[in-house]
Structure 1
Amino acid sequence: MQALNTTLFQWMAAGHSPNPQLLWLAATIAVGSSWLCVAVMGWMAWRHPAQRTYVAATLATAAATTLLAHAIAGAINVPRPFVAGLSPSYINHAARGSLPSAHATVMFTIALIACMRPALRVAGIALLAIALVTGWARIYVGVHYPLDVASGFLLAAAITGVFWLLLKVRPTIHPASPD
């Protein structure tokens, strides 16, 4: 599996001689897209007042997801591509474990949870696109393997499943008004 991961990384990443314009774009996305995700969440809460409790629950889930993703990455401790010498890190990043990508896990979790709610689905689809582009960017700048991002998506899907189950148990975060 690591051979496939390395091959995909070498195909997708900037490597040792990157295109300067593409590197600038990828680095900007890799570092700044989290703020775009926060802005979309703020827009969801502003645009859909009846969904504010749901958006707040999504934010709380995102915080817990961050902790979980970092704990798993620390326990598994897969060296990042720049640590393995496959590419320089084109953004400032610690050398801690890379699997799963915390950025991917959190962004996909927020996106999938938003997609579950009809009033937030358009924003959720936009967030899915942002998460995908961010995953590519973090691979391109040398801080993640493709399977780090894919595992982030799978973990996000599992977390979203738990969130959905909790909605069934605790319907107070599932208001009656469809907004």
Structure 2
Amino acid sequence: MPGIRQYISLPAGLARMNLFSFCAATILSDHATLMFAAAFYLLMARGWATYGIPLLVVAALTAWGRVYSGIHFPFDMAGSIVVGLASAGLMHWLAGPLLPLNEKLLKIIDQVLGVLIKRGGQRRW
């Protein structure tokens, strides 16, 4: 049974491309969600807003392009913005408490890679 999305038409002037019919069942755009999340996180981080603003513009253009090409509906992009903002906010909020864990993991990775590199240098294939 097709979902209600099968019966909703795109706004006038927008072409529906059936080349991407396998994407028709998606709710949010993965492309736009990732780009909006990265842009919002950069806007929240100190000193990174100069990079966040251009990325936000690129994310908006990507969202517009995916609606224009008929791959997604406008509300898909609205959902992508909301999820991107929420995930960026959550990561910004958790950045402080997760920093000590991140430092410990980086030390472990450095030790493991150091051992592997030393062993790899002695091995002859």
TM-score of the two chains, using structure 1 as the length reference: 0.47
Distance 1:12 1:134, change over 3 A: farther
Match of 1:131 among 52, 59, 62: 59
Letter in 1 for 2:17: P
**Identity value in percent:** 26
Residue 150 (structure 1) aligned with residue 64 (structure 2): no
CA distance in 2, matches of 1:12, 1:128: 25
Q: CA deviation at 1:95?
A: 1.0
CA distance in 1, matches of 2:84, 2:12: 25
Q: CA deviation at 1:99?
A: 0.9
2:72 aligned counterpart, secondary structure:
coil
Match in the other structure for 2:11: 10
CA distance in 2, matches of 1:12, 1:104: 22
C-alpha contact 1:100 1:149 (8 A) present in aligned 2: yes
Match of 1:167 among 77, 90, 95: 95
Match of 2:20 among 76, 93, 97: 93
Q: Which has the larger radius of gyration?
A: 2
Match in the other structure for 2:113: none
Distance 1:128 1:11, change over 3 A: farther
Match in the other structure for 2:42: 114
| Structure 1 portions without partners, runs of 5+ | 16-86, 174-179
Paired residues, number: 95
C-alpha contact 1:12 1:139 (8 A) present in aligned 2: no
Match in the other structure for 1:27: none
Letter in 1 for 2:78: A
TM-score of the two chains, using structure 2 as the length reference: 0.65
Root-mean-square deviation over aligned CA pairs: 2.3
